[in-house]
Amino acid sequence: MAGELVGYRDSVPLCPYGARHRESRKLMHTYLAPSKMEGLSPMQEQKMRDFLHGLFTAPDKLPMHIRRVVAAIVFQVSHGYTVVDDEDSLVALAEKATLEFSLASAPGAFFVDFLPALRYLPDWFPGAGFKKTAKAWRQTAEVLVNEPYDKVKEQVANGTAIPSFTTSLVEMNASPTPEEEDIYKWASTGFYSGGADTTVSAISSFFLAMVLYPDVQTKAREEIIKVVGRDRLPNFSDREKLPYIEALLKEVLRWNPVAPLALPHKLIQDDVYDGYYLPAGSIVFANTWGIFKDPDLYSSPEEFQPERYLSSSVPDPRSFAFGYGRRVCPGQYLADGSLYLAIATTLSLFEITNAVDKKTGQPIVPVPNYKAGVICHPEEYECLIKPLYSDADTLSHLGR
C-alpha cells in the first residue's frame, strides 16, 4: 500500500536496494555527516531558542511547539525554508503526508499488503476502496516531493537561494536527467519524512519522562547549573561536559522506542539466523522494542534510569534506535543534536511538573501509553511548564 500504491517506493527508507538506493543515501550522508554538524549548530541553537520562547509564551501548546521546532530545523536544512508561524502551509502539508504514510504503512491495515494481486482490481470492484484512498494519499506525497524542490530551483535560477541540501543538489547538477532529478526530489523530502516524526516522538517522550521522574529532572538541572551556570543556555560546546544529560538522552531513546520494529528489511540472499533458514525475499523485522526491554541488557527496563549509562558496560541505545545496516537513519546526527538541545536548554530554563486537576486540586499523573504504529507517539498527556526565573531573566536568556 505505502510503497507501490501511494508512491513511497521511491523514498529513501522504502527504496529497494540497488543503484538508486545507494545514490540517495550517498547524497544524504555527504550533507549529514558528523563533520558537517558543526556548521549547522548555530541554526539549531537559534531554532531551539524560538522553541523555548514558545514554551514561555504558550506553555499549554507543547505538542505544537515540538512539531514546529523540528519542522523548522529540518526544512531549513533540506530546502533552506524558514517556518514562519504555527499555520505554516508547508508544515501542514508535511504533517498530512506523514500521517497518511503512517496509516498506509501500518502493519495489517490493508489486506493488499498480504495479497498484492488485489492492486489490480478495478476501482469500482467491491472491496477496492483502498485504491481510491491510495490515489488521494499519492497526490499529497507528489505535492510534497515536487513543490518545495521546484521552489528551490527557482531560487537558484534567480540568485536568491539559501544554502541547503536541495540547493547544493541543484547547483551541483544544473541539467539532471529525469531519473537524477527524481532521486534529488525524494532525497530532499526524506529529511522530513524520515526524521521529523521520529524526533517529535522522542522530544515528547522526554517531557513525559520528566513529569514522571522529577528526581531525574533535578539531577540533570543540577549538572547544567554546575557546568554551564545560570547566566546562559547550554550549547553544543557544553555537551561533552554534561554526562548526565547525555545519559538522559540515551534513556529517552530506550525507554519507549520511537520505532519499535524499525523498518522491515527484505533479504537479498538466503540466510540462516539462530538455526532458522530464511530464503531470499523474506521480510525481516528488527525487534528494537525487545532489545530495549531485555532485562539482561537493561536492568529494570520499564524504569527510566539514566544512571545505567554512567557505566560503560551498558549498550548505547543509539546503536539500535536509528535503524540497522543499509537502512540506518542518515539523519541520525542531526536528530541526536536536536534532541540534546531540546533536553539541555529546556531543563536550564523551565521546570516540568504535573498538571493539576481543576476540580480536586490533585496532581494529574500521566500514564506512559503510546499509540501503536510504525512510529509510536505518547498518547496525549498534560503537564505544567514553569519558568525557573523572572520574566525579564527568561527573555534575556532567549535574547529577546
* Across 139-153, average pLDDT: 94
Q: Is residue 210 a contact partner of residue 368, using CB atoms and an 8 Å limit?
A: no
Q: Is residue 20 a contact partner of residue 124, using CB atoms and an 8 Å limit?
A: no
Nearest to 315 by CA among 297, 328, 303, 332: 297
pLDDT the model gives residue 400: 67
Query: pTM for this structure?
Result: 0.92
Q: Which three cell numbers stand for residue 221?
A: 538541572
| pLDDT tens sequence across 225-279 | 999 999 999 999 999 999 999 999 999 999 999 988 887 888 889 999 999 999 9
pLDDT the model gives residue 34: 92
pLDDT the model gives residue 129: 82
> Can you give the length of the chain in residues?
400
* Calpha distance 300→281 (Å, rounded): 37
What Rg do the C-alpha atoms of the chain give, in angstroms? 22
pLDDT the model gives residue 117: 81
197: pLDDT confidence band, cut at 50, 70 and 90?
confident
For the cut 90, the answer to whether the pLDDT of residue 344 exceeds it is yes
Which residues make beta-bridge pairs with 378? 370
| pLDDT tens sequence across 14-37 | 888 889 999 999 999 999 999 999
pLDDT the model gives residue 314: 93
* Across 216-229, average pLDDT: 96
Which positions make up the binding site for heme?
Answer: 329
The DSSP H or E segment spanning 344 is helix 332-349
**Percent of the chain surpassing pLDDT 70:** 100
CA distances from 342 to 64, 147, 373, 399 (A): 14, 30, 24, 17
Report which DSSP code applies to 287: -
Q: Which three cell numbers stand for residue 51?
A: 522553541
Dmax (CA) of the chain: 68
Helix residue spans in 214-331 (DSSP H) = 214-227, 243-255, 288-292, 318-321
Say whether domain 8-397 belongs to CATH 3.40.1050.10: no
pLDDT the model gives residue 2: 79
* Across 135-146, average pLDDT: 93
Q: Is residue 326 a contact partner of residue 25, using CB atoms and an 8 Å limit?
A: yes
Chain centroid, CA 258 distance in Å: 8
Which residues make beta-bridge pairs with 371? 377
pLDDT the model gives residue 265: 83
Which positions make up the binding site?
Answer: 329
Q: Which three cell numbers stand for residue 33?
A: 555527516
* Across 90-107, average pLDDT: 85
**Percent of the chain surpassing pLDDT 90:** 64
For the cut 90, the answer to whether the pLDDT of residue 318 exceeds it is yes
352: pLDDT confidence band, cut at 50, 70 and 90?
very high
Comparing 63 with 105, the larger pLDDT belongs to 63
pLDDT the model gives residue 325: 84
pLDDT the model gives residue 266: 84
* Calpha distance 301→348 (Å, rounded): 27
pLDDT the model gives residue 371: 86
pLDDT the model gives residue 39: 92
* Calpha distance 348→343 (Å, rounded): 9
* Across 194-199, average pLDDT: 83
